[in-house]
Amino acid sequence: MLTVNRRFEIASRGLVAVVALRVALGPYRALAGQPEELFRPVWFLRPLDGMPPVGVFLAVQVVGTAAALYAAVGRRGPGRWGAFVVGWLAFLVLAGLRSSLGKILHNDVLLLLAAVPFVVTPDGDGETRSRQAVHAAMAVVAAAYFFAGLAKVRHSGLAWVTGDNMRYILTWGAVDGRAHFDGWALWVADRAWLSTLSAAGILGLELGAPVAIGVRALRPVFVGAAVGLHVATWFLLGLDYWAWIATVVVVLVDWSRVRPSAGRGREAAPPRAATG
């Protein structure tokens, strides 16, 4: 039971720490100047007529960051759980406003959804609920990658791998100026076999996520592959998915089994018999 509760607590605190960083550092205040004619609110923000003023964005960021930080480091109990909920709601509103520009931005989706099982599970809610929350978060991660791959197959079929799609994407990243290493992007794009291999690897990672995450021995492989994918995406396309990296690492690594190396393997020596 201690291992289960410890894993729940570590995952909960890890995710809300990422939420705090996302709320504090996100470019949300720049949305305040968005023209009302271009405001396309997501479903839970439809009562709004337009983007809030910059002061509202700042207030939500300050409150959300403070609450999420307290949830990350505060004592266990109703107060910490309540702060988690407040921080998550602030993040939900800010991410929703950022996606109210006519296109859903996926950068924050995985973190938002993976945190839901912990939002609805207060601290100390029992071993069974703690285990269910961790497993539900893992299922969310698996589903997010799987449905991303399924969408590729549905809309493009195997041509997403065998066609020139990946070459076009890499060339666009370099020409558009978003790629941090445009030379590398063009180097891969100029080699059809490498572009095809990259596309196949991405699709295989996404469609195989439920199996890789469901099998404990394969989880480290999936974590490493997912981190590599998102780092390469940042290098070659300039797309920021660091919240996905953090979510995958926090949720899929069993931190409850990680112990500090200091003192490991050393046991207290048994008391010696008194000699006279």
- The tokens for 116 are 């839901």
User: 131 in a domain, yes or no?
Assistant: no
pLDDT greater than 80 at residue 258: no
Q: Is residue 113 located within the same domain as residue 6? A: yes
pLDDT in tens, 51-109: 999 999 999 999 999 999 999 999 988 899 999 999 999 999 999 999 998 777 888 99
Q: Is residue 52 located within the same domain as residue 166? A: no
pLDDT greater than 80 at residue 210: yes
Greater pLDDT, 267 or 57: 57
pTM, to two decimals:
0.88
Provide the residue count of the chain.
276
User: 276 in a domain, yes or no?
Assistant: no
User: 275 in a domain, yes or no?
Assistant: no
Which string of DSSP letters, residue by residue, matches 39-65? -B--GGGTT-SSPPPHHHHHHHHHHHH
Whole-number Å distance between alpha carbons of 193 and 77: 55
Range of the domain at 101: 1-125
Q: Is residue 4 located within the same domain as residue 71? A: yes
Exposed / middle / buried, residue 267 (Cβ in 10 Å: 0-12, 13-18, 19+):
exposed
Task: Give me the number of domains the chain comprises.
Answer: 2
Confidence category of residue 267, pLDDT binned at 50, 70, 90? very low
pLDDT in tens, 227-247: 999 999 999 888 889 999 999
User: 237 in a domain, yes or no?
Assistant: yes
pLDDT in tens, 120-129: 998 767 888 8
Q: Is residue 49 located within the same domain as residue 121? A: yes
Q: Is residue 58 located within the same domain as residue 150? A: no
